[in-house]
């Protein structure tokens, strides 16, 4: 089933003045994040109109309405203010046209007015709806912000993910989620956060659940972040070949909600400082993002050395 958000939830944080519709009208559900600026509709063209979108009137729309005859307004507004349309918002301090208001009152249709600029209203609504209606999934792992990058640490149960997370938090990095991570596809990014019941909590085997915000301070947690890197912890197998130089294979990615996320597989064995290795992996990623690849630099040095000797 498609995700939806009720109109009353959407307008909670908005500085809108309601000019028609009662509390029942605010129970309307919104299924799409796009906003409709009804230029073609005001001209009488409704063939491809998606009535599930919020309708936004700005300066141009109001100016066009003032040029319309009463008959044209009546015909147009009767189609716009229907049961499928979530609401109509009139921006930039303009008043609702009288004919539209009369139709809305008769149909218990919600109309709002706001002093905000049309563009600002459109951006705020689209951003809020994008987040509320974003495709989502749930994965297991630990999610931290390390050196400004959102890093998901995954691995088999009991491999030590939470213990590594605790060490990284002690080193000054930020916890976002432990055990379960809610992931959302917003714009071109995957955004992760903790389920409400697990927020700020970290489970350490043998100790139990600890509240990171109370133990290390509120500066040690982050409510959400973009997912920039996945680190997969695998138990060490002597028979398996692991990346050593860094040019053995093409870049590995993992697809989450149709977005490819860079992925690194790190073997876990006794005597390795996993927190330091993860920090190094993130810093190496930042170097690559800035255009410097240590592995390629190493290969170039070898080639230059061979060339000079020959």
Residue 270 is labelled as binding a ligand:
no
Residue 24 is labelled as binding a ligand:
no
Residue 155 is labelled as binding a ligand:
yes
Q: Where are the alpha helices (DSSP H) in 93-234?
A: 98-107, 118-132, 161-170, 212-216
Token pair 């073997």 is found at 267
Nearest in space to 201 (alpha carbons), one of 171, 181, 183: 181
Residue 158 is labelled as binding a ligand:
yes
DSSP codes joined into one string, 93-113: TPPPPHHHHHHHHHHT--EEE
3-class state of residue 270 by DSSP: coil
* Bridge pairing between strands 208-211 and 201-204: antiparallel
Residue 160 is labelled as binding a ligand:
yes
Q: Mark 132-155 as b/e (b = at least 16 C-beta within 10 Å).
A: bbbeeeebebbbbbbeebbbbbbb
Report the C-alpha gap between 78 and 118 in whole angstroms.
23
Residue 291 is labelled as binding a ligand:
no
Residue 162 is labelled as binding a ligand:
yes
* Bridge pairing between strands 5-6 and 29-30: antiparallel
Q: Which of the residues are catalytic?
A: 140, 161, 179
Residue 294 is labelled as binding a ligand:
no
Contact 192, 224 (CB under 8 A): yes
Residue 25 is labelled as binding a ligand:
no
Residues placed in the known binding site for ATP: 155-162
Residues that constitute the known binding site: 155-162, 203
Which amino acids are annotated as binding site for Mg(2+), given as ranges?
162, 203
């Amino acid at each position: 089933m498609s995700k939806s958000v009720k109109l009353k939830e959407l307008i909670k944080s908005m500085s809108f003045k309601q000019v028609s519709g009662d509390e029942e009208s605010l129970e309307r559900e919104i299924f799409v994040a796009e906003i409709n600026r009804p230029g073609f509709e005001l001209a009488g063209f409704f063939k491809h109109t998606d009535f599930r979108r919020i309708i936004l009137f700005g300066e141009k729309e109001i100016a066009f309405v003032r040029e319309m005859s009463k008959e044209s307004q009546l015909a147009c507004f009767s189609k716009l203010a229907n049961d499928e349309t979530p609401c109509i918002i009139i921006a930039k301090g303009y008043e609702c046209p009288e004919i539209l208001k009369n139709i809305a009152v008769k149909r218990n249709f919600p109309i709002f007015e706001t002093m905000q600029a049309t563009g600002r209203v459109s951006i705020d609504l689209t951003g809020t709806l994008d987040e509320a209606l974003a495709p989502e999934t749930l994965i297991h792992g630990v999610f931290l912000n390390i050196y400004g990058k959102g890093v998901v640490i995954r691995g088999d149960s009991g491999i030590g993910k939470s213990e590594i997370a605790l060490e990284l938090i002690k080193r000054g990095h930020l916890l976002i989620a432990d055990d379960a991570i809610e992931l959302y596809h917003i714009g071109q990014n995957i955004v992760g956060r903790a389920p409400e019941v697990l927020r700020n909590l970290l489970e350490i085997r043998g100790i139990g659940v600890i509240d990171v915000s109370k133990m290390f301070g509120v500066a040690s947690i982050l409510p959400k972040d973009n997912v920039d890197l996945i680190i997969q912890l695998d138990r060490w197998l002597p028979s398996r070949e692991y990346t050593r130089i860094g040019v053995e294979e093409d870049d590995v990615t993992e697809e989450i909600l149709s977005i490819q996320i860079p992925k690194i597989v790190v073997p876990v064995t006794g005597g390795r400082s996993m927190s330091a290795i993860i920090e190094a992996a993130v810093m190496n990623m930042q170097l690559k993002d800035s255009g410097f690849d240590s592995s390629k630099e190493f290969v170039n040095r070898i080639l230059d050395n061979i060339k000079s000797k020959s």
